[in-house]
């Protein structure tokens, strides 16, 4: 069984020292700041929350904060570009679980090292997955679903946006924890998977909550549980996996901000303090949560520890399910 990592479940309040670090660090920033986002512009939640963060940062630093979209290769192109950038405090990386934690297990020749090539700044938050099932499948809660899965080994198809995606790994985590058998069906687009879920061609998805919420609200699918230890603001009536007795079944796409290795520690501290300020601001927090993000925060060390744990956790899932890129 893969143990639940607890780093996500401990939101941290700003301390007085952290606020003190928000004072200017050597005149930074004296020019616009670039945030590389390893996804195409307008590409779902990743780009949306990055732009909210950039806008809020811009309000606080008195300089432009520009989003530089570098999509391709599951985020590897953008992350590699950030790793090669000068560590001068004017290029930051906004990245997430797939690129930083899953890709090291999927790509034998990864063009960057998520630990060695970056200085962590802040764990911004997480968009949880949610287990949803076709209305005609039968189960309406986690106990009934798991009972059904065990009674029908191999008969359930679960869809995802591709091998190694968050939806795929969430399904594999469920299988490993419950010792059930389900067949993974990868898609190239979330919409196609949702269409097949509604028609019954596949029976289950571990969708991101941002993608599943409209179908849940419309009554088109049955929500079983949110894979989190917090209830989601978008679907406050849906229980969490922790509440239904499966605290180890926690999965999502988390987001962090990092800088090229060797960036001035004073700049790291300033960006961290400003980021925590954004996450504590009620208006900014509401915008991020509306976009699907559970907000977190804390010191750079929190992201550093969490990243190492997540790399190990994702690698174990990839190995256990023998996942290969197509």
Same domain, 20 and 160: no
- Confirm if 244 and 267 have CB atoms less than 8 A apart: no
Beta-strand runs (E) in the chain = 33-37, 65-69, 91-96, 118-134, 157-160, 183-186, 204-208, 221-226, 252-260, 294-295
If one counts the domains in the chain, the total is 2
232 part of a folded domain: no
Strand 65-69 and strand 118-134: the pairing is unpaired
Same domain, 145 and 164: yes
120 part of a folded domain: yes
Handedness of CA 245, 248, 249, 253 (dihedral sign): positive
Q: What is the DSSP string of 174-212?
A: HHHHHT---EEEE-SSHHHHHHHHHHTSS-EEEEEHHHH
Q: How far apart are CA 48 and CA 207, in angstroms?
A: 18
**How far from chain centre, in Å, is Cα 299?**
18
Q: How far apart are CA 8 and CA 302, in angstroms?
A: 9
325 part of a folded domain: no
Q: For residue 211, give the CATH number of its domain.
A: 3.40.190.10
Same domain, 33 and 118: yes
- Domain span at residue 213 reads 128-226
Same domain, 207 and 108: no
Distances (CA, A) of 289 to 15, 90, 235: 23, 27, 12
Determine the 3-state secondary structure of 214 from DSSP.
helix
Q: How far apart are CA 68 and CA 214, in angstroms?
A: 29
pLDDT averaged over 10-residue windows placed end to end, the chain, 326 residues: 41 41 67 96 88 97 96 95 97 97 96 98 97 97 97 96 96 97 94 96 96 96 97 94 96 98 97 98 95 95 98 96 87
Q: Is the pTM of this model over 0.85?
A: yes
pLDDT at 25: 58
Angle of helix 282-290 relative to helix 265-280, nearest 10 degrees, comes to 80
């Amino acid at each position: 069984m893969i143990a639940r990592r607890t780093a996500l479940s401990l939101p941290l309040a700003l301390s007085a020292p952290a606020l003190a670090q928000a004072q200017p660090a050597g005149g930074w920033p004296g020019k616009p700041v670039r945030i590389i986002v390893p996804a195409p512009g307008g590409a779902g939640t990743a780009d949306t929350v990055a732009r909210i963060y950039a806008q809020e940062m811009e309000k606080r630093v008195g300089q432009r904060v520009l989003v530089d979209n570098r999509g391709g290769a599951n985020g590897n192109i953008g992350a590699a570009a950030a790793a090669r950038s000068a560590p001068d405090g004017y290029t930051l990386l906004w990245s997430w679980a797939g690129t930083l934690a899953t890709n090291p297990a999927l790509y034998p020749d990864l063009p960057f090292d998520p630990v060695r090539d970056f200085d962590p700044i802040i764990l911004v938050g997480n968009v949880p997955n949610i287990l949803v099932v076709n209305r005609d499948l039968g189960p309406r809660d986690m106990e009934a679903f798991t009972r059904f899965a065990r009674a029908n080994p191999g008969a359930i198809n679960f869809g995802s946006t591709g091998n190694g995606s968050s939806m795929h790994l969430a399904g594999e985590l469920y299988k490993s924890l419950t010792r059930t058998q389900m067949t993974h069906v990868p898609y190239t687009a979330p919409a196609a998977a949702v269409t097949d879920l509604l028609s019954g061609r596949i029976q289950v998805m571990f969708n991101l909550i941002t993608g599943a919420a409209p179908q849940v609200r419309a009554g088109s699918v049955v929500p079983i549980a949110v894979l989190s230890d917090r209830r989601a603001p978008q679907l406050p009536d849906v229980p969490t996996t922790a509440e239904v007795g499966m605290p180890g079944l926690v999965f999502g796409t988390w987001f962090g901000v990092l800088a090229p290795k060797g960036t001035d520690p004073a700049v790291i501290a300033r960006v961290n303090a400003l980021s925590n300020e954004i996450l504590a601001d009620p208006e900014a927090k509401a915008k991020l949560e509306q976009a699907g993000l559970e907000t977190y925060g804390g010191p750079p060390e929190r992201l550093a520890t969490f990243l190492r744990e997540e790399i190990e956790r994702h690698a174990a899932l990839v190995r256990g399910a023998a996942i290969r890129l197509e």
